[in-house]
Every structure is written in C-alpha cells, then in structure tokens.
Amino acid sequence: MSTLTIENVCSDYDGQVVLRHLDLTLAQGEIVALLGPSGCGKTTLLRAIAGLQAISQGSISINGQTLSGDGVFVASEQRGIGMIFQDYALFPHLTVADNILFGVNELNRTVRLARLEEMLELVKLTGLASRYPHELSGGQQQRVSIARALAYQPELLLLDEPFSNIDAQVRNDMMLEIRAILKQRNVSAVFVTHSKDEAFVFADKLALFKDGAIIQHGEAEALYRAPRDRYVADFLGAGNYLPIVVTSSHQVQYALGHLSSTEELFLPIGSQGQLLLRPQQIEIYPSINGRGCIVQRHFLGTVCHYQVQIGGVILDVSSQSTTLISGQQVDISIAAHPLVIFS
C-alpha cells in the first residue's frame, strides 16, 4: 500500500491558484523530492500535506485514510506527520533532550528516556543531551531537529529545504547520513528543494514542478535519461541541442553525419527535431584536420569544460581529458545511446 496518495489536488491563496491538479503517490519507505524553481508551489504542497494549507479540490490520504478532501479535514497535529524545516525550528530555551522529547510528552518516563537514548544514538549526539541549541553546530542542530521529528514515530516525514543552511562541504555527507537513517527506519519522506543536486543525492524519486503543476514524476535517473520536454531536460542538467532529421528507426542525421540510437526512436522517418546531447555525451580528441576548434576551456578539477565551435554551432563539452587548450583543432565523436529528441 502506498503511504501517501495525492489525487487531483488544487489549492489557492485568495483565489490565486498555486497548485494545479497534482497527482503523486509515495510507497512506504520511499523518499520523493519536490523539485522546481522558486515560487512553483513546492512548499504549498508540503503545507497541504501537513494540514497547514487548505486544498480546494482533490484529496490527500495516508495509508488509505483521507486527511484532506471529500469533506474531511484532519488537524495537523493528528496527521502523524513529522516536519523538518530549513531553520531547524528548535526551542532555544530547551535542552537537546527536551527538544527531542517535545512531541512525545504523553509517553511515560521510562519509555521517554529509552526513546531519547535511541534517538541520540541514531543521530550520533549521545552525550550532548543537556546542551542548549546555541551550544551546537548547525549540523548538530539539524540532527536534533531530525531526532525530534523521528522521536514521534511519524508515518511520514516532510522536509522543507533542510540542507540549505549547511556548509556545502558537509552537506553531501549530511544528506547521505540522514537518508541512511530514514532508510534504516523505513520512513517515507517528502523533501522540498530547488537544487537538482540535492534531489539526486537524497531522493529516490523526483516530482518536477512548473507553475503549480507536476510536469514529470519518476525515478531520478529515468527523468534525467528520458525527460519529457526541454524544461525537464534543462532543469536536470546542461545540454546541447542539435537540429536533426530522422533517417531510420534507430538513426538520425545531423550537420556532421549520422548518429545511432540504442533504442527505437518511434518518430516518422524524415521528421525533424532537436537532439539533446549532455556535455559528457560528446567526446573530443585532438585532430590536426579536426572539424572543431576549442574556443573556451575551464578546468574544474577532475574534468574540463570546453566550448567547441564546430560549423556554425558552439557545443558545451565536459571531458576527462584536461590537456586540450584554447585554439586547438579537435574532432568529436558521440557514442550510440538512447537518443532524446524534442520537436
């Protein structure tokens, strides 16, 4: 059974529609990222799931129980949902222990103490129970907020940009660490971010938003490899677009020759389109009589980013060969792969 089911959800602020017919399901233990640019409605959906925002149409349910919609509205505190915010939202006057146990006051003292020890161990804060939030680093504070959300044993965890205040150097490790905790506990989670990089690291699935609608939803890799349009393709990574003509079920022609697709194209022969080529799908190599010329080079550590002028086109190329220089003649090759073509 899916933990969370969102069906045809619409929502507005004073008549201004901000969520448009959203459908999304989340299986037990799955992590989905709501991804998209600022103002596209990600936080509004998170708030609607939490019961902090009314919906005007559709329904939201957890484990088959309706929380919003069909004339039902379950209060936020009765939804069995934990929330983690960007600013951690810890109580500054409470110790780590009291912050973690804040939502489980009704449990008896023995169970509460056992829960506290379990949570401290889980988030690697054992020994820091009597500290106050201002005596912790940002990363430790974020772990307290995670422990607090999990202490309550929620059906579902909602995370609103929880990593944006964490130093870039430790962010990746922190995301992997928290992801491992959620996986270990089989907790389902909805994670809001505008960063594709965070979404790739933290989530199993992506729901990509545009103007209050979900444009495409699925496994991160599937969206990256088979984006349904240029909006999705561009949001998930840099790309070059080359005009092509389809010449067979597995082949296209472009300005420099033919390219093969390892999957059937399902496009009429003779049809025209724009071929998506990610910078790392183009290989460049030095060639005295090469058709291309390097016009820009940026060294990025393990790879180099080049701009290659070839015919009238400039291609962005990401290459592990870092020894090429600006002005050098080069040629390119593109290995057969499942071609992505937009009309």
Ligand X SMILES: Nc1ncnc2c1ncn2[C@@H]1O[C@H](COP(=O)(O)OP(=O)(O)OP(=O)(O)O)[C@@H](O)[C@H]1O
119 φ, ψ (degrees, to nearest 5): -70, -40
Widest CA span of the chain, in angstroms? 80
Choice between 14 and 106, CB closer to ligand X: 14
Q: Which residues pair with 183 in a beta bridge?
A: none
Applying CB under 6 A, does 148 fall inside the site for ligand X?
Answer: no
Among 44, 61, 141, 142, binds ligand X (CB under 6 A): 44
Smallest distance, ligand X to C-beta of residue 174, A: 20
Applying CB under 6 A, does 39 fall inside the site for ligand X?
Answer: yes
What distance in Å separates the CA atoms of residue 22 and residue 117, rounded to the nearest whole number?
A: 40
- Yes or no: say if 86 and 138 are a contact pair by the CB < 8 Å rule: no
**Binding residues among 5-24 for ligand X as defined by CB under 6 A:** 13, 18
- Yes or no: say if 327 and 321 are a contact pair by the CB < 8 Å rule: no
**Binding residues among 240-259 for ligand X as defined by CB under 6 A:** none
Give residue 177's identity as a one-letter amino acid code.
E
- Yes or no: say if 5 and 60 are a contact pair by the CB < 8 Å rule: yes
Smallest distance, ligand X to C-beta of residue 42, A: 4
Smallest distance, ligand X to C-beta of residue 20, A: 11
Smallest distance, ligand X to C-beta of residue 207, A: 12
Among 1, 15, 38, 134, binds ligand X (CB under 6 A): 38
**Binding residues among 172-201 for ligand X as defined by CB under 6 A:** 194
Choose the binding region for ligand X from 22-30, 32-40, 111-119, 140-148 (rule: CB under 6 A): 32-40
Helix (H) or strand (E) holding 56: none
**41: number of CA atoms within 13 Å, CB side?**
25
What distance in Å separates the CA atoms of residue 271 and residue 320, rounded to the nearest whole number?
A: 34
Choose the binding region for ligand X from 35-43, 89-97, 243-251, 257-265 (rule: CB under 6 A): 35-43
**End-to-end CA gap in the chain:** 38
Choose the binding region for ligand X from 42-50, 69-77, 110-118, 226-234 (rule: CB under 6 A): 42-50
Smallest distance, ligand X to C-beta of residue 236, A: 17
Applying CB under 6 A, does 53 fall inside the site for ligand X?
Answer: no
What distance in Å separates the CA atoms of residue 100 and residue 135, rounded to the nearest whole number?
A: 15
What is the contact surface with ligand X in residues (CB under 6 A)? 13, 18, 36, 38-44, 194
